[in-house]
């Protein structure tokens, strides 16, 4: 691994504080240890929540457009640190530099969105049935928000939460993945610069918790945290959702996907091929929105598959810091073991496996680089219905659109989906209420790489949460319905008479 001292220092990460702790941080690029941090105990987590409550008491009094000014400054600081933070994301996750920087761009975009939003936290006025009365809804800050994030997108999903929560008046306690805490600490340092320029921000608007499941559970169980926003596997979401529900808190869950693409007979195969490549092999298949299931009409299957295989065979796998690379490493050995085991299982279920071999093992024995795999399946088996977080693309044939939609929707997850077709009827059917059952439904564009302007999230086992654009901000506020009587009478709703003879 190259010397990271300069990179760390540019992001305010003091090498002295990155050594000596019990929590080792490794880079998947070569498996080397790049930091040792002191993990937070459950007691530390509780103390951070208490400080977040103090911050909330002050921050909720600041007018929302003024809160937006702090996020505007944060966006400026992110612009200044885009290259450095993007590189750190690459070092910690193994995604290629272009994607690391793209993640930071997404943070900048959501900051811009949130600045505008800070002047648009609109409520409703509602017609009252009573004379001389007015009804309205108003939105108020909710309280400290607990955020738990996954390793594969270590900064952008956090920023979707943070930029919105902050303009909504909520401080945040953030537990990043135990695999990517340095990116989180760098984000806090960048935010601290914006807060220093802003001047009047209370302390502790953003605190980081270092640790794994145990630290996450301490945050999840803390009744002083009204909202837990958690991104990760369906198994994690099941555990977190149940614990938050047990204390009657709110949860916002962004969980695993098993994303499909239907390629119809009329599809533009050039477009489809490029979209498949980016969505299935980008980020080494480690996106929640990665393309995992390709459902191809039997008329075009034999034209598409050989093209895909030749594109797969020529894709550059290697050091994600090298600009020529398209696929970096898997995050760790366990991910590689899971990929190999899955490929063996699907081969036993009748799948014909192409690719999926480990490469560079001689030069980099502590890193796990693989060629992406295509598995031609006779049908959608139980293994295909699971999310394997690796670059495996299952290809299946279909005969008519109803059949394709049934296969497409026949999985537990419901995150992202798409159809490639130039037939208006097919496109509209897929995006209609009887089409895809996912939260993201695209036409002639792959399932991954969403823009921040739309609400992001999925249905079924993906958890039902929505983050980022549209009206996702409402999750970070509480709603009050107000009825104001400006008359001299006291009429009751529904015309009820109560001790009143007149
Ligand atoms: P993971 O579930 O292993 O961990 C995610 C986070 O949850 C980590 O911070 C982890 O420490 C924490 N955690 C785990 N168990 C917990 C518990 N019981 N209580 C509290 N916290 C707990 O996921 P991962 O391997 O880091 O990420 C990959 C998964 O995340 C994939 O399934 C992927 O699809 C999903 N993901 C979803 C989205 C989305 O927006 N829908 C985005 C990114 C990743």
DSSP secondary structure string, 297-360?
Answer: EHHHHHHHHHHHHHHHHH--BS-TTSTT-SB--BSSHHHHHHHHHHHHHHHHTT-EEEE--EES
Q: 177 CA distance to ligand 1 centroid (A)? A: 7
- Is 16 exposed, middle or buried, given 0-12, 13-18 or 19+ CB atoms closer than 10 A? exposed
Residue 474: the pLDDT is 98
Q: Give the angle 282-285-291 at the CA atoms, nearest 5°.
A: 85
Digit-coded pLDDT (tens) for 462-471: 999 999 999 9
Q: What is the pTM of this model?
A: 0.97
Residue 500 has pLDDT above 90, yes or no: no
Decide: 181 in ligand 1 pocket, CB within 6 A: no
Q: What tokens does 330 get?
A: 């898997």
Catalytic annotation present for 428: no
Residue carrying the six token digits 């997108």: 153
Q: Which atom of ligand 1 sits closest to the CA of residue 237?
A: 2
Rounded Cα distance, 389 and 39, in Å: 26
Q: What percent of the chain has pLDDT over 70?
A: 100
Digit-coded pLDDT (tens) for 143-175: 999 999 999 999 999 999 999 999 999 999 999
Rounded Cα distance, 95 and 273, in Å: 21
Confidence of residue 15 (pLDDT cuts 50, 70, 90): confident
In angstroms, the first-to-last Cα distance of the chain is 86
Q: What tokens does 480 get?
A: 């009050």
Residue 456: the pLDDT is 98
Decide: 211 in ligand 1 pocket, CB within 6 A: no
* Integer angstrom CA distances of residue 422 from 217, 261, 268, 416: 48, 14, 7, 20
Q: What tokens does 84 get?
A: 């450095």
Rounded Cα distance, 149 and 126, in Å: 38
- Quote the mean pLDDT of the chain: 97
Residue 371: name the closest of 420, 311, 417 by CA: 311
Residue from 168, 288, 418, 438 carrying the catalytic annotation = 288
Residue 501: the pLDDT is 63
- Return left, alpha or beta for 281; rule: phi > 0 is left, psi -120 to 50 is alpha, else beta: alpha
Digit-coded pLDDT (tens) for 430-453: 999 999 999 999 999 999 989 999
Rounded Cα distance, 479 and 482, in Å: 10
């Amino acid at each position: 691994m190259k010397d990271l001292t300069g990179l760390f220092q540019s992001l305010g990460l003091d090498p002295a504080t990155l050594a000596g702790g019990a929590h080792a941080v490794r880079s998947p690029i070569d498996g080397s240890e790049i930091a040792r941090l002191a993990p937070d105990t459950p007691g530390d987590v509780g103390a951070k929540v208490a400080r977040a409550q103090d911050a909330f008491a002050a921050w909720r009094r600041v007018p929302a457009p003024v809160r937006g000014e702090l996020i505007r400054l944060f966006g400026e600081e992110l612009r200044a640190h885009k290259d450095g933070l993007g590189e750190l994301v690459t070092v910690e996750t193994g995604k290629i530099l272009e994607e690391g920087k793209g993640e930071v761009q997404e943070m900048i975009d959501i900051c811009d969105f949130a600045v505008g939003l800070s002047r648009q936290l609109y409520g409703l006025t509602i017609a009252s049935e009573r004379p001389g009365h007015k009804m309205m809804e108003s939105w108020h800050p909710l309280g400290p928000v607990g955020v738990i994030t996954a390793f594969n997108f270590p900064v952008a999903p956090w920023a979707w939460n943070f930029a919105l929560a902050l303009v909504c008046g909520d401080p945040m306690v953030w537990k990043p993945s135990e695999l990517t805490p340095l990116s989180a600490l760098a984000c806090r340092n960048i935010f601290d610069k914006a807060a220093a320029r802003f001047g009047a921000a209370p302390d502790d608007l953003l605190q980081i918790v270092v640790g794994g499941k145990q630290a996450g559970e301490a945050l999840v169980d803390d009744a002083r945290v009204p909202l837990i926003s958690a991104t990760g596997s369906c198994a994690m979401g099941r555990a977190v959702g149940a614990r938050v529900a047990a204390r009657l808190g709110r949860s916002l869950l962004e969980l695993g996907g098993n994303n499909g693409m239907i390629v119809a007979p009329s599809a533009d195969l050039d477009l489809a091929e490029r979209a498949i490549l980016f969505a299935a092999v980008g980020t080494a298949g480690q996106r929640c929105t990665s393309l995992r299931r390709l459902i191809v009409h039997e008329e075009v299957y034999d034209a598409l598959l050989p093209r895909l295989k030749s594109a797969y065979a020529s894709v550059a796998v290697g050091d994600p810091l090298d600009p020529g690379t398209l696929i970096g490493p898997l995050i760790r050995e366990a991910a590689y073991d899971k990929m190999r085991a899955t490929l063996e299982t699907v081969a036993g279920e009748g799948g014909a496996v192409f690719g999926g071999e480990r490469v560079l093992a001689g030069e980099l024995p502590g890193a796990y680089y693989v060629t992406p795999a295509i598995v031609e399946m006779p049908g959608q088996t139980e293994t295909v219905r699971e999310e394997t977080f690796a670059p495996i693309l299952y290809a299946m044939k279909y005969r008519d659109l109803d059949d394709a939609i049934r296969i497409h929707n026949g999985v537990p997850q419901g995150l992202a989906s798409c159809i490639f077709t130039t037939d208006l009827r097919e496109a509209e059917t897929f995006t209609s209420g009887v089409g895809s059952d996912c939260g993201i439904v695209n036409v002639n564009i792959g399932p991954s790489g969403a823009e921040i302007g739309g609400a992001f999230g999925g249905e079924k086992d993906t958890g039902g949460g929505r983050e980022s654009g549209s009206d996702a901000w409402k999750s970070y506020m509480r709603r009050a319905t107000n009825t104001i009587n400006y008359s001299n009478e006291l009429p009751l709703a529904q015309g009820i008479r109560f001790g009143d003879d007149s």
